[in-house]
Homo-oligomer: A and B are copies of this chain.
């Protein structure tokens, strides 16, 4: 099979991207795949938006509503839906629910579901690779996952802007944030804002709790209420996201943040494969990939194996 290049992906649409992702899954270390990822890495264009929060708060509905907003504005959207519950039976497949809400014929939306197969497993690398490809191809990349533990770490390694969703009447999310177990998001959203008084109260609790919080740098966390079913609050959410993106683009913040993220997932990928012992065998230069991080990872594989 001929190697897939970034130009192929740009010309070939969703079918070509699906083929590239399948090839990556089959042969994550094939030189052609690494070259494609490294090319995509430097061709970053999208605003990468992470949506997290407990199960059941309506993240998938919100993702669907954001897709519709962005499509109506003529923007292309790639979606990565990480299913955290596949480890046990009984959880819903988030990706499938998202899929229901969009038109499969629309070449401007691409959705990829990923299973969180194993808490300690190689998901980070796979989802990072998918994000890097989509970031080079779309205007927006949405990553939807559950905001605790491993998944939350991954979103903080991948997204430019993190949106944390809570629903009216839930209390733990706030406690997790206050205790520093859940990272402070760039934007906190109360979903199901049609729930009236309860939603207003949740919003004021959230606003109070996060009034002094900044999510890295000097960005003060925004708090909003959104009702995806009624469509209210969506324009405010996309405006806040645009504002955060503009803020990141000032003073080189976006570049610095992405460099930090790359170094972090690169370390995590080495650690996943070779443990703390493997990490200790590498000098800091080997662990700070400025460009071509995917080929560099393969070199480290060869060195440590």
Q: Determine if B175 and A55 form an interchain contact, defined as CB atoms under 8 angstroms apart.
A: yes
Is A170 located at the chain interface by the 8 A CB criterion? Answer: yes
Assess A176 versus B89: contact at CB under 8 Å? Given A171-B170, A181-B146. no
- Interface residue count for A (Cβ, 8 Å)? 47
A87 CB → nearest B CB, Å: 7
Q: B residues within 8 A CB of A19? A: none
- Can you report 11 residue pairs joining A to B where beta carbons are below 8 Å apart? A54-B179, A56-B175, A87-B180, A90-B180, A91-B180, A120-B268, A150-B150, A170-B175, A172-B173, A277-B278, A278-B278
B-contact 0/1 string along A27-57, CB 8 Å cutoff: 0000000000000000000000000001111
Closest CB in chain B relative to A268 CB, distance in Å: 7
Chain A residues engaging chain B, CB cutoff 8 angstroms: 54-57, 84-85, 87-92, 119-122, 146, 148-150, 152-153, 166-167, 169-173, 175-176, 178-181, 268, 270-278, 304-305
Further 17 A-B residue pairs, CB within 8 A, beyond A56-B178, A91-B181, A169-B169:
A54-B175, A54-B176, A54-B179, A55-B175, A55-B176, A85-B181, A90-B179, A146-B179, A148-B181, A166-B172, A167-B171, A170-B170, A170-B175, A171-B171, A171-B172, A273-B276, A277-B304
